[in-house]
Structure formats: C-alpha cells, structure tokens
C-alpha cells in the first residue's frame, strides 16, 4: 500500500429494485429451473461487483453475496447440516440449503434470530453431533468468478470461526475450545486454497470482538489466530469488527494478522480513545470504518477529512484503509430512483452507492489534495445543512406523560377476566393475515390515484369481512381485523404521522427474501389524525368476539426506521409514544378495549455492551408505558416480541406492565421455556406454538406438546395460544390449515388441564 486506500465490507444483495428477491421467490414457486436461477444470480453478483468497480474502490469484497443468509452459507460450506434434513455428505444441495432456512413438511426450519443489534436475521447453525468439513469453498468460488469474469482480484469476505461458533447452538460451553480448534482446521484449508488461487488480501469478520467477551475468550481467540496464521503465513488477513468498539483493544490490535478493522461510527469514542492512549502497531493496516454503514444520512466529509488527518498521526497514511463502518447490507442500494423525495431531504441522504462515492471523495482529497477536491468536499457538506437548519428539526417541548397504570396487574386481570369471559388457554393471532397480490396491486393503484378512495375502502372492507368469517369458522377466541390496509407495520404508521418520509426503493433485507422499506424519521414526530380506528371498528361490527386494536410500538417504530441523528434516540421514541397514546385513547373511546401495541424490535435495540443495557432499557420501557398507561383498568394491553434471550431482559419485559405478551419462539421453544424455570413471569403470556416463517403446516400433536411443556412452568390461567408472529407472508390455505390445527390443539390442551386439575 503506497497511499491511502479504500475498501468496502459488503454490498446489498437485493438489488436496486429487489430483483434478487423476485428471482428467489420465483424459484421457490417453481417458475424457473435451478440452472436458470443460478445463472440469473450469477448475473446479479457480477453486476454488484461492477457497481463497486465504477466507484473506484481499491479492495472489492467477494463472497459477501448470498442466496439467503451468510451465516447459513458458512454452515453448509462446512457440511454442518442437522440430521433431520437427511444430508448425505458432499456439497450441500440447494434444496437442503433452503430446507434449513424455510423448513419442509418433514423437518422444521433452523432457528432464526437477530444479527447482533440490527434488523437483519440470520439462520442459527446447529452443531450437535456434527464435525465441520470443507465440503464447498464458497469464498474461493466467488474469488475465481470475479477474477475470471471481470479480471478483479477481490477481497474474499469470510465469517470468522470465533463469531460463527458464538452464533451457533447444539453444544455445551465446556466444548467451546475444542469446537473452535476443529473449525480452525477447516478455516486453514479454506484460506490455503484461496492463497493458492491468487488471493492476497482476506477479510475475516469477527464482530463478536465488540461484545462482552471475557479475557479467557480473548486469549482463546488469540491462540486460534496464531494457529491459523502459522499455517497460512503469506496471506494478508484483516480481522474486521463492526457495530461497536472492540472490548479488548490491546489484544485485538496485537493479533498476528496484517490488519485490524475498527468501527469509527458506532464505536467512535471508545476506539479512537484507545488509539490515542495506546497507539496502533507500526506493522499493521488499520481498516477505518468512517462512513456510517447502517444509517442513510450523508456524512460531514469535512469532519471526516479532519478525522483521517488525526488518525494519520497514529497510523501512517500508507497503512490506512478507509471504508464504511459495516457491510452496506443494512442500507438501500441507490438514490437514483428516488424521484419523489423532498429536495431538501434528498440532499441530506446517502444510500450504498452514495456512501461508496463519499469514500472515493475522501480518498481523492487525501491522495490528490487539490482545490477542486476540497471544494467538492465543502459542497457535499453544505448540501445537507438546509435540513439541519429547517423548521422540521426545531426543538419541541413535550408534556410529561404518565408511565404507570393506576391499577396493578392482578386488579386489572380480574376485571378483564370478568369482562370477556374467555376460555382457558384463549386462542388468538398476532395481527396480520395473508396479503394477496390483488390487495397489493390495488394498494399500488390507489396510491397512483388509479383507484378511488371509495373503491379501495370497499375492497379492504370485503377482505376484513372475509377473514372475520374465517376466524369465526376456525373458532378463534380473540380476533384481529387482518391489517389488509397496511403495507408494513412501521411504514403504515409513519405515513400517518408528521416527521416521517418514505423512499420509493429504499429496501433492505430483513431475512431471506423478506425486504422492508424503513421510514425516514427526519423531523419531529407528531400525531395528525386517527390511524386504525375505522378498520378496527368495522371488524368489531361483524362479530361478537373481541377484536384487538393493532398498533406498532414506539421502540419498534424507532428501531425499524432510519432515524434522525441530531438528537438522542430516546427523544424520538418519546415523541412517537406521545403520538401513539392519542391513538390508543381514540380506540378505547370507540369501544375497542383490547389493544395490542407490538414491540418486536425492543430486544434488537439492546446495546452490545452490557454497561449500556440499563440506560437503553429504562427509556425503552418508559416509551412503551407512555403509550399505554393513561387508560381504563379493564382495557387490556397486549404486546408482541420477536425471539430474544429472554433472561437478558425479563425484568424489563415485566416492567412494560402489558397485560398479555406474546413471544416469537417456535424455532427455539425449548430454550425459552427453560428460562421460565429460573425466572418467574407473572402476567399473561403466549409463546408462539408454530413457526409462521415456514410454509410447513404444523401438526396438532406438535402444538399440544409445546403447550404442555410451557404449562409446566407457566400458569394455565395466564397462558394464551397463538402463532409466533404475523401471518402476512403466508398463503390463505397455509394460514387456515395451521390455525385450525392450533385451535384444536388448544382444545385438547384445555381438556388435559381440566383432567389434571380435577
């Protein structure tokens, strides 16, 4: 490296217009052959590489592309396929790969959970009874493809052995060191093959280094990397971290590798303070993540330029590599197609392509410090000051809101039990029902003013009526209206509140082919008009059964949006909570007194450092309670959460003071139930009894077993039976079949409880 160089950590998979998603789903539906599917996916990979070549990066990642998930890719690369998928060895077939992700009629899918503190979900590797073998060198294939097709010597990207093992399950922690050494051996083979093929520079991602790993774990990490580099001495390895500052700075920067990648956005203060205090090794490259890889605001390049110059007092420019702070997997691809955004707002944004251009601008300003390049930096900075100085961002005064219900849970529970007279183990769903292509097309036509408000409203009402009748037929105890008017559980509310804006193609991957388009919170959030009352009231008019009002909670709206970065996140959460409280009160006054305020993203916002947990959880709980406390004792508040390590936040979940909480747990039900054996939960709770992310129809016997297992640690009087998440992505046939089995399983479980208590 003769001067400042540039790099990228990873590129979005889904494409500028979600073409990757559409191809994947077409393959699943049998509309294209496997050969055609692989050919089209190859064309996407090459196009994504060309997009990065055009932005003059020195080091372009290869191997970051995936057909579903990069953690799953790593597992199948090493032949780590659970026995239930009947894998026979060798290269893992594509059918088995997708079976692990989505399940089959005969084998449930592997667990899926959040990737660190992001909204991306990865497939959890299962290692029980398995020994890793290199059955397919995926990074090598990606490297050779780029070399052959585009004459590019790419930078292979590999999920590191320590992090891979940390993210896995199916082994005892006492086995960790032995398991890590097993993995190290196959990583050595993988790296040796890359070296023989001509690779010179490899990025090994080890984000676990920013979590609270112990000194013993860090020592083990170091010894494993000594083992690896001793066996592959001539390959330049960068150990890459992101999402936070590293925990053991001295040990990390002294690893026996060529370079260390540090996050100078999320981990800025701590990482830079460590370099200032301890310096940086003279023989290593510092891969400095200085452009935010997780949010969509332009960077202040004048400040970034100053920071690079400060870094260069500790690390020679020749050993500096500038890059995004994380993979660009977490942000949309390009602003090119955003033709409807307000000009002031658009001038303040940077998606993936624009972030890579920011990297290039900084590189030019350092390596060719001309007046032209400096003027470009200044113009770039000035382009978003208009938003900073706008009325949208003027400070607003907030009135104090109550954060406690006036009655205890036990007092409320008695009133609510008398009010609804629900059976033991009441059945319900999480909120959404399948959205057909006809509904989505009608919404698109309505947005384009090709369908009148009256016609669109009639269509939505017809769908609500249809599904109220289906719920009656299935025999559910508590109904929902189905959310057919909603495009996304966060975007829907953002569109009805002040302070939000929406991109046209600002999609990001959540899991598999599931993409979301996060709203952009650019200004102060304010309530404008009723958001859910009409549809909920209509649904309630069609049935004697209670219909839940369905809202998305303040912390989830915050965490699943691209959030303004000029004020603390908690202030934005409190603004959202105040707006939602007005909607809760409107529902209650209209007679809807069972209201679900979903917080599936509460856990994912938890900081990666335990020292920061209490501060976050305190304001997150406060925001939820702000939106749900000023109501009548008999109004029942439900909430829903996606899977998390329940032990981490059980006290905070209890502090939410929701009357009923449902938790997405079906892929890892046993682990969560075991948590209740050690930590009591004394409010209403529903543990999802089947996995909605899989097209597989669960059998009654399976759900009865799950219910029985849960009732060994939870009281039947407080237990609800429900799927583990919303049903928007499932078909009508799948939904009706699965819910029918669920209702029958609840009835059988009621009988068993009655016999046991008789």
- Domains of the chain from N-terminus onward: 56-331+342-390 (3.20.20.210), 412-488+532-757 (3.20.20.210)
- 410 in a known ligand binding site: no
Task: Give the residue from 697, 688, 590 showing the smallest Cα distance to 642.
Answer: 688
514 has binding-site annotation = yes
At residue 524, the pLDDT reads 95
Structure letter (DSSP) for residue 482:
B
Q: Cα–Cα distance between 679 and 649 in angstroms, integer?
A: 11
Mean pLDDT for the stretch of residues 363-372? 89
pLDDT of residue 756: 76
Mean pLDDT for 620-631 is 96
Q: Is 110 annotated as a binding residue?
A: no
Distance CA 21, CA 127 (A): 29
Q: CB-based contacts of 471: which residues, under 8 Å, 6+ apart?
A: 479, 480, 543, 545
Residue 745 has pLDDT above 50, yes or no: yes
Residue 757: the pLDDT is: 72
Phi-psi region of 76 (alpha: psi -120 to 50; beta: other; left: phi over 0): alpha
Rounded Cα distance between 658 and 405, Å, is: 10
The token pair at 562 is 């691209």
To the question of whether residue 640 is assigned a binding role by annotation, the answer is yes
Mean pLDDT score, 535-548: 98
9 vs 60: CA distance, rounded Å: 8
**Which strands make up the sheet holding 636-641, listed edge to edge?**
549-552, 594-598, 636-641, 660-663, 684-687, 719-720
Helix (H, G, I), strand (E, B) or coil at 569: helix
pLDDT band at 646 (very low <50, low <70, confident <90, very high): low
Please check the confidence at residue 638 and state whether its pLDDT lies above 60: yes
Inter-residue contact 103 to 694 (CB < 8 Å): yes
Cβ atoms 93, 135 nearer than 8 A = no
Per-residue model confidence (pLDDT) at position 670:
55
Angle between helices 352-367 and 301-311 (to 10 degrees): 50
Using pLDDT thresholds of 50, 70 and 90, give the confidence band for residue 1.
Answer: very low
pLDDT band at 665 (very low <50, low <70, confident <90, very high): low
Give the model confidence (pLDDT) of 466-493 as tens digits.
999 999 999 999 999 999 999 888 999 9
Q: Which of 185-189, 192-196, 335-339, 694-698 has the lowest mean pLDDT?
A: 694-698
432 is in an annotated binding site: yes
Ramachandran sector of residue 291 (left: φ over 0; alpha: ψ -120 to 50; beta: rest): beta
pLDDT in tens, 676-730: 776 778 899 988 888 887 888 989 999 999 899 889 888 999 999 999 888 898 9
The answer to the question of whether 291 is labelled as a binding residue is no
pLDDT tens profile 105-152: 899 999 998 899 999 999 999 999 999 999 999 999 999 999 999 999
Q: List pLDDT tens digits, range 495-507.
A: 999 999 999 999 9
What six digits make up the tokens of 20? 């990757």
Q: Which of 155, 166, 12 is nearest to 74 (CA)?
A: 166
Q: Which of 620, 525, 501, 522 is nearest to 580 (CA)?
A: 525
515 is in an annotated binding site: yes
* pLDDT attached to residue 429: 95
The pLDDT assigned to 700 comes to 94
Distances (CA, A) of 631 to 348, 407, 576, 622, 626: 40, 10, 17, 16, 11
Among the residue ranges 78-92, 362-376, 550-564, 614-628, the one predicted with the least confidence is: 362-376
Mean local confidence (pLDDT), 18-29: 97
Q: Check pLDDT > 60 for residue 669.
A: no
How much is the pLDDT for 758? 56
H-type alpha helices, 197-346: 215-231, 249-253, 268-278, 301-311, 343-346
Residue 105 assigned as binding residue: no
Least confidently predicted of 447-461, 515-529, 574-588, 664-678: 664-678
The reply, when asked if residue 431 is annotated as ligand binding, is: yes
Active site residue 693: yes
Is 598 marked as a binding-site residue?
Answer: yes
Mean pLDDT, the chain, rounded, equals: 94
State CA 489 to chain mean position distance: 14
Q: Is the pLDDT of residue 160 over 80?
A: yes
Calculate the alpha carbon distances from 246 to 46, 207, 295 in Å.
33, 9, 20
Which of 139-143, 252-256, 358-362, 440-444 has the weakest average pLDDT? Answer: 440-444
Q: What is the mean pLDDT of residues 227-247?
A: 97
Contact indicator for 266, 325 with CB cutoff of 8 Å? yes
The sheet carrying 520-527 orders its strands as: 497-501, 520-527, 562-563
Q: Is 750 annotated as a binding residue?
A: no
**Cβ(350)–Cβ(297) under 8 Å?**
yes
Instruction: Please indicate whether residue 374 or residue 118 has the higher confidence score (pLDDT).
Output: 118
- Of the ranges 393-402, 573-582, 727-736, which is most confident? 573-582
Q: Which of 121, 248, 330, 693 is catalytic?
A: 693
Q: Is 642 annotated as a binding residue?
A: yes
User: What is the reported pLDDT for 113?
Assistant: 87
Give strand pairing partners of 551. 597
């Amino acid at each position: 490296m003769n001067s400042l160089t540039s790099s990228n950590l990873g590129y979005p998979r889904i494409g500028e217009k979600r073409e990757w998603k559409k191809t994947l789903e077409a393959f699943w539906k049998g509309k294209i052959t496997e050969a055609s599917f692989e050919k089209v996916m190859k064309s996407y990979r090459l196009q994504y590489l060309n997009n990065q070549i055009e932005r003059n990066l020195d080091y372009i990642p290869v191997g970051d592309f995936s057909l579903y998930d990069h953690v799953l890719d790593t597992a199948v690369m090493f032949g780590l396929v659970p026995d239930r998928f009947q894998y026979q060895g060798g290269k893992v077939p594509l059918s088995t790969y997708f079976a692990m992700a989505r399940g089959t009629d005969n084998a449930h899918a592997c667990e899926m959970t959040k990737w660190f503190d992001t909204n991306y979900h990865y497939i959890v590797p299962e290692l029980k009874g398995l020994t890793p073998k290199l059955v397919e060198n995926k990074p090598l294939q990606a490297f050779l493809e780029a070399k052959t097709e585009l004459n590019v010597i790419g930078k292979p990207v590999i999920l590191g052995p320590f992090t891979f093992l940390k993210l896995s399950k199916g082994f005892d922690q006492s086995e960790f060191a032995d398991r890590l050494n097993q993995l190290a051996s196959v990583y050595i083979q993988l790296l040796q093959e890359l070296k023989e093929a001509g690779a010179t520079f490899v990025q090994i991602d080890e984000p676990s280094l920013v979590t609270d790993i112990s000194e013993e774990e860090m020592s083990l990490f170091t010894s494993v990397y000594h083992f690896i580099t001793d066996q592959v001495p001539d390959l330049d390895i960068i150990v890459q971290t992101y999402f936070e500052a590293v925990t053991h700075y001295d040990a990390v920067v002294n690893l026996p590798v060529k370079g260390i990648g540090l996050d100078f956005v999320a981990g800025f203060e701590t990482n830079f303070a460590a370099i200032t205090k301890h310096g940086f090794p003279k023989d290593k490259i510092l891969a400095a993540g200085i452009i935010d890889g997780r949010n969509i605001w332009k960077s202040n390049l004048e400040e970034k330029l100053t920071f690079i110059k400060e870094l260069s007092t500790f690390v020679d420019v020749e050993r500096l590599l500038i890059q995004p702070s994380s993979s660009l997997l977490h942000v949309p691809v390009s602003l090119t197609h955003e033709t409807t955004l307000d000009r002031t707002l658009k001038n303040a944004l940077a998606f993936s392509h624009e972030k890579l251009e920011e990297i290039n601008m900084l590189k030019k300003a350092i390596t060719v410090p001309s007046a032209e390049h400096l003027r470009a930096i200044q113009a770039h900075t000035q382009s978003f000051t208009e938003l900073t100085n706008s009325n949208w961002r003027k400070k607003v005064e907030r009135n104090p809101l109550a954060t406690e219900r006036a009655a205890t849970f036990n007092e409320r529970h008695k009133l609510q039990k008398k009010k609804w007279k629900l059976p033991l183990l009441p059945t319900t769903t999480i909120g959404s029902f399948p959205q057909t292509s006809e509904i989505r097309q009608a919404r698109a036509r309505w947005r384009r003013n090709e369908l009148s408000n009256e016609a669109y409203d009639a269509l939505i009402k017809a769908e609500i009526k249809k599904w109220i009748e289906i719920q009656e037929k299935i025999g559910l105890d508590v109904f929902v209206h189905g959310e057919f008017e909603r495009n996304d559980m966060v975007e829907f509310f953002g569109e009805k509140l002040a302070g939000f804006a929406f991109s046209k193609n600002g999609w990001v991957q959540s899991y598999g082919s599931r993409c979301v388009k996060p709203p952009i919170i650019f200004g102060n959030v304010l309530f404008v008009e009723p958001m859910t009352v009409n549809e909920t009231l209509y649904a309630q008019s069609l049935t004697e059964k209670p219909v839940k009002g369905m809202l998305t909670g303040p912390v989830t709206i915050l965490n699943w949006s691209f959030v303004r970065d000029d004020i603390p996140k908690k202030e934005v959460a409190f603004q959202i909570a105040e707006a939602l409280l007005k909607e809760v009160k409107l529902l209650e006054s209209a007679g809807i007194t069972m209201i679900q305020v979903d917080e599936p993203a509460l856990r994912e916002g938890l900081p990666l450092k335990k020292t920061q947990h209490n501060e976050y959880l305190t304001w997150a709980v406060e925001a939820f309670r702000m939106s749900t406390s000023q109501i009548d004792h008999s109004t029942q508040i439900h909430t829903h959460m996606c899977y998390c390590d329940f032990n981490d936040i059980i006290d905070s979940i209890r502090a939410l003071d929701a009357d009923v909480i449902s938790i997405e747990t079906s892929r890892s039900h046993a682990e969560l139930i075991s948590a209740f054996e050690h930590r009591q939960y004394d409010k209403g709770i529903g543990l999802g009894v089947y996995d909605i992310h899989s097209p597989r129809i669960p059998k009654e016997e399976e759900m009865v077993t799950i219910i029985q297992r849960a009732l060994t640690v939870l009281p039947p009087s407080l237990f609800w039976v429900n799927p583990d998440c919303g049903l928007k992505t499932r078909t009508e046939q799948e939904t009706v079949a699965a819910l029918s089995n669920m209702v029958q399983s609840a009835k059988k479980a009621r009988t068993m409880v009655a016999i046991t208590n008789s």
